[in-house]
Amino acid sequence: MTTLIDVYPSRLPHETTTPRQDPVVWSEPGHPGPLTAGALHSYEQDGFLAVDQLIRPEEVARYRAELDRMLLDPAVRADERAIIERRSGEIRSVFEIHRVSEVFARLVRDERVVGRARQILGSDVYVHQSRINVKPGFGASGFYWHSDFETWHAEDGLPRMRTVSVSIALTPNLDTNGGLMIMPGSHRTFLGCAGETPRDNYRKSLQMQDAGTPSDGALRGLADAHGIRLFTGPAGSAVFFDCNAMHGSGDNITPFPRSNVFIVFNSVENTAVEPFAAPVRRPEFIGARDFTPVR
Ligand code: 6CS
Ligand code: FE
């Protein structure tokens, strides 16, 4: 088996910085899809693209009802794919949502969603990960600053930055209830985090990330250089963002839930190999090993 060169070293004793060595938009101009050339350019520059209404209000209601049903289903709560909030005991995230729920499986195949991902990545795509972050309110905890790619490269073995996430609001994302924050342009710098990956790291990291967390100095440098954009929008709004965008979200202490569904599309030309900086693979419900293209 050929060993791939690791162009994005991470989880060493010291934090390192590597300039991005991959395109952001992989498709050639004129590649079919819903995004205009202007939208693609904006995505390439910022590392994200906001869509005011990706799905219509009546559709959101259907997905919201499905989420409410799932949250009341003891089988979902008992499933290893449900991550429980330490403090409140409520469900924090449900992973592999497209396999747990046929309703959400339809969302993954929706051309408005997967069509944009194919256009950005310039190829067929498969789902590397999907989840709902429920963030119910009354103190539901956030997600500290991180690059998804740093984890997906180190722990899931994704070789290159040819992966795009879409966050779709199922409830209103307000400026008070723990919305997604992204540093515009941060996707062009790979931050290799310090610290070895513990075995079974995911058992803790999905509740509170430790390995793969940037230093205060690195975050201050990125924030000074790029600023921070908070994403707000009604249920049905969405943000497509590059796998290496530095992002996070705060706690939600309001009574208003900030429940978003996240779907991670990876190019079929960038399928997972062995972890680049972890002793073992993570479970398949977090890092897929089924590379079947979304149809
Ligand atoms: O470790 C992961 O794959 C997950 N963790 C975070 C904070 N974002 C990406 C992903 O859901
Ligand atoms: Fe993330």
Among the listed residues 101, 96, 98, 107, the one whose alpha carbon sits nearest the alpha carbon of residue 73: 101
Nearest atom (ligand 1) to Cα of 248 = 7
The residue whose C-alpha atom lies closest to atom 5 belonging to ligand 1 is: 206
In this structure, is residue 182 part of a structural domain?
yes
Q: Give ligand 1 pocket residues (Cβ under 6 A).
A: 129, 131, 143, 146, 148, 151, 205, 209, 286
What residue numbers bound the domain in which 147 lies?
35-250
- How many domains would you assign to the chain? 1
In this structure, is residue 272 part of a structural domain?
no
Which ligand approaches the C-alpha of residue 206 most closely? 1
Residue 213 alpha carbon to ligand 2 centre in Å: 11
Grouped pLDDT means (10 residues each) for the chain, 295 residues? 83 97 95 94 98 96 96 95 89 96 97 98 98 92 96 98 98 97 98 94 87 94 98 98 98 96 98 97 98 97
Which ligand approaches the C-alpha of residue 156 most closely? 1
185 CB-near residues (< 8 Å, 6+ apart): 45, 46, 47, 225, 226
In this structure, is residue 265 part of a structural domain?
no
Nearest atom (ligand 1) to Cα of 205 = 1
Residue 252 alpha carbon to ligand 1 centre in Å: 18
For residue 58, what is the domain's CATH number? 2.60.120.620
In this structure, is residue 198 part of a structural domain?
yes
The residue whose C-alpha atom lies closest to atom 7 belonging to ligand 1 is: 143
CA pair distance 118, 30, nearest whole angstrom: 13
- Cβ(19)–Cβ(189) under 8 Å? yes
The residue whose C-alpha atom lies closest to atom 6 belonging to ligand 1 is: 148
Which ligand approaches the C-alpha of residue 141 most closely? 1
Give the other-Cβ count within 10 Å of 175's Cβ: 8
Which ligand approaches the C-alpha of residue 209 most closely? 1
In this structure, is residue 11 part of a structural domain?
no
Looking at residue 3, its pLDDT comes to: 66
Among the listed residues 145, 247, 194, the one whose alpha carbon sits nearest the alpha carbon of residue 9: 194
CA pair distance 60, 54, nearest whole angstrom: 10
Looking at residue 200, its pLDDT comes to: 87
Nearest atom (ligand 1) to Cα of 133 = 11
Residue 71 alpha carbon to ligand 1 centre in Å: 20
| 81-105-266 Cα angle (round to 5) | 80
Looking at residue 2, its pLDDT comes to: 62
Nearest atom (ligand 1) to Cα of 165 = 9
In this structure, is residue 134 part of a structural domain?
yes
